[in-house]
C-alpha cells in the first residue's frame, strides 16, 4: 500500500474522483498533488472530519508532544473544542504573523490564547513565509520533545505543512516534500518528515471548520479573500445609517460608529449612503457588538467595533458570524 509523499493519501488507480488517484502506481505523487505543484491547478476534495478526529483521538492517547498550529488571521471559533481529543502537552504555534499589522504587540497576541483549555507548555509566534522565529521554534520543540513523537495538528489551512516544509528546507537543505495550497484539506493522511536522527515531525490532515467561508466560494474568490501580505486596517467613520459592501460576500449596516476592517487588501469595500437592497438576499444576522470587540466573519476576517451597536450583517448562510474580545 503506497502513500502519496505529498498528501499522505493511499495511492489508487481505480477512481479519478477519489483522493490518491494516479495512473501510475509506481510514481510517488498522486495526480492532485502533481497538478497543484506543477500547474497550480487546485482540485477540491470533499472530506468529513471523522477520519481527522480518529487521528486526533489516537494522538490524544499517546504520550506525544503536539504542535498546535493556529492561523493568527483566521483562527476558528471552536479552537477550544480540541480539548475533547487532546490531553497531550501542547506547544502552541501561532503562525502567519506576517499578515497582521507589524505594530501589534506579540505579547498581546499571545495573551489572547492564555485561557485555551489545553495543556499548553509554551507558545510561540512565527511566520513560515517570512522565516520569523523558526530557530526559536526548533529549539522549543527539542526542549519539550523529551524523546517523544511530535505531531503537528490544527485546523485545515492553518499552515502546518508549510511550516514543516520550512523546517525541513532550513535544517536539512532538502527540497519541500509536502504539498501545500490555499485550499482546505490539502493534506489527506499522516506524513512523517525526519529533520534529523532525533526529530521527526508528523504532519496530519487539518480539521475542517465547516462554518468558514473558504468552503463556500470559488477558487477565484478564494484567491482574493486569502491575504498574501500584511493587512492594512481600513477604518470607516459611520455618520448616520450606512452600508458597507464587500464583493458578493458581505453587507454590513451600521449607524454612527467607527469600524476597522481587517480583511485581505485585495477586497474592495464599497460604502453606500442610500438604503439599497444590495445583498439583502443573503442570510441576515443581528450582531450585538460591544465597544472594542471584533465581529468575526469566519474565513473572511474581522471588524473591530468602537461603539456598542446591534450591527446588521448579511452573508452566506453557512458562514459563522460571532463576536470576540478584540485581537488587536
Residues that bind Mg ion in the complex, under the rule CB under 5 A: 161, 186-187
- Among positions 49-108, residues that touch ligand GTP (CB under 6 A) are 95-96, 98-99
> 188-207: which residues touch ligand GTP (CB under 6 A)?
205-206
The three-state DSSP-derived secondary structure of the chain is CCECCCCCCECECCCCCCCCECCCCCCCCCHHHHHHHHHCCCCCCCCCCHHHHHHHHHHHCCCCEEEEEEECCCCCHHHHHHHHCCCCEEEEEEECHHHCCCCCCHHHHHHHCCCCCCEEEEEEECECCCCECHHHHHHHHHHHHCCCCEEEEEECCCCHHHHHHHHHHHHHCCCCCCCCCCCCCCCCCCEEEECCCCCEEEECCCECCCCCHHHCCCHHHHHHHCCCCCCCCEEEEEEEEEEEEECCCEEEEEEEEEEEEEECCCCCEEEECCCCCCCCCCEEEEEEECCCEEEEECCCEEEEECCCEEEEEEECCCCCEEEEECCC
Considering beta carbons, is residue 98 or 203 the nearer one to Mg ion?
Answer: 203
- Residue whose CB is less far from ligand GTP, 223 or 285: 223
Q: How far is the CB of 184 from ligand GTP (least distance, A)?
A: 5
Q: Pick what 98 binds: ligand GTP, Mg ion, none; C-beta below 5 to 8 Å, kind-dependent.
A: ligand GTP
Work out what residue 128 binds among ligand GTP, Mg ion, none; the CB cut-off runs from 5 to 8 Å by kind.
ligand GTP
Smaller CB distance to Mg ion: residue 70 or 289? 70
158 binds ligand GTP (CB under 6 A): yes
> Is 185 a binder of ligand GTP (CB under 6 A)?
yes
Q: Which does 74 bind (CB under 5 to 8 A by kind): ligand GTP, Mg ion, none?
A: none
Binding-site member from 123, 127, 242, 243 for ligand GTP (CB under 6 A):
127
Question: Which of the ranges 12-20, 159-167, 259-267, 269-277 carries the binding residues for ligand GTP, by CB under 6 A?
Answer: 159-167
Among the listed ranges 19-27, 102-110, 176-184, 312-320, the one in contact with ligand GTP (CB under 6 A) is 176-184
* Least distance in angstroms from the C-beta of 62 to ligand GTP: 20
Residues that bind ligand GTP (CB under 6 A): 95-96, 98-99, 127-129, 154, 156-162, 180-182, 184-187, 205-206
Amino acid at each position: 500500500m503506497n502513500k502519496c509523499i505529498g498528501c499522505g493519501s493511499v495511492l489508487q488507480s481505480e477512481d479519478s474522483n477519489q483522493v490518491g488517484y494516479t495512473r501510475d502506481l509506481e510514481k510517488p505523487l498522486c495526480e492532485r498533488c502533481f497538478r497543484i505543484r506543477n500547474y497550480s491547478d487546485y482540485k477540491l476534495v470533499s472530506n468529513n472530519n471523522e477520519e481527522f478526529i480518529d487521528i486526533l483521538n489516537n494522538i490524544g492517547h499517546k504520550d506525544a508532544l503536539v504542535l498546535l498550529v493556529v492561523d493568527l488571521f483566521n483562527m476558528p471559533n471552536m479552537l477550544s473544542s480540541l480539548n475533547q481529543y487532546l490531553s497531550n502537552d501542547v506547544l502552541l504555534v501561532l503562525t502567519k504573523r506576517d499578515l497582521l499589522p507589524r505594530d501589534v504587540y506579540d505579547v498581546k497576541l499571545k495573551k489572547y490564547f492564555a485561557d485555551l483549555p489545553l495543556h499548553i507548555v509554551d507558545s510561540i509566534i512565527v511566520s513560515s513565509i517570512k522565516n520569523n522565529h523558526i530557530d526559536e521554534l526548533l529549539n522549543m520543540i527539542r526542549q519539550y520533545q523529551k524523546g517523544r513523537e511530535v505531531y503537528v495538528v490544527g485546523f485545515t489551512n492553518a499552515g502546518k505543512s508549510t511550516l514543516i516544509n520550512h523546517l525541513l528546507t532550513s535544517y536539512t537543505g532538502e527540497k519541500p516534500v509536502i504539498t501545500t495550497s490555499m485550499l482546505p484539506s490539502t493534506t489527506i493522511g499522516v506524513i512523517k518528515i525526519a529533520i534529523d536522527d532525533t526529530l521527526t515531525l508528523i504532519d496530519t490532515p487539518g480539521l475542517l471548520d465547516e462554518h468558514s467561508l473558504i468552503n463556500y466560494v470559488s477558487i477565484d474568490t478564494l484567491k482574493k479573500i486569502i491575504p498574501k501580505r500584511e493587512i492594512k486596517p481600513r477604518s470607516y467613520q459611520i455618520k448616520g445609517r450606512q452600508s458597507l459592501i464587500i464583493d458578493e460576500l458581505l453587507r454590513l449596516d451600521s449607524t454612527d460608529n467607527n469600524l476597522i476592517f481587517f480583511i485581505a487588501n485585495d477586497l474592495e469595500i464599497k460604502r453606500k449612503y442610500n438604503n439599497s437592497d444590495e445583498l439583502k438576499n443573503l442570510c441576515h444576522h443581528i450582531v450585538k457588538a460591544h465597544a472594542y470587540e471584533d465581529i468575526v466573519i469566519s474565513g473572511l476576517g474581522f471588524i473591530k467595533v468602537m461603539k456598542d451597536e446591534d450591527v446588521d450583517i448579511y452573508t452566506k448562510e453557512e458562514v459563522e458570524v460571532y463576536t470576540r474580545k478584540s485581537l488587536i
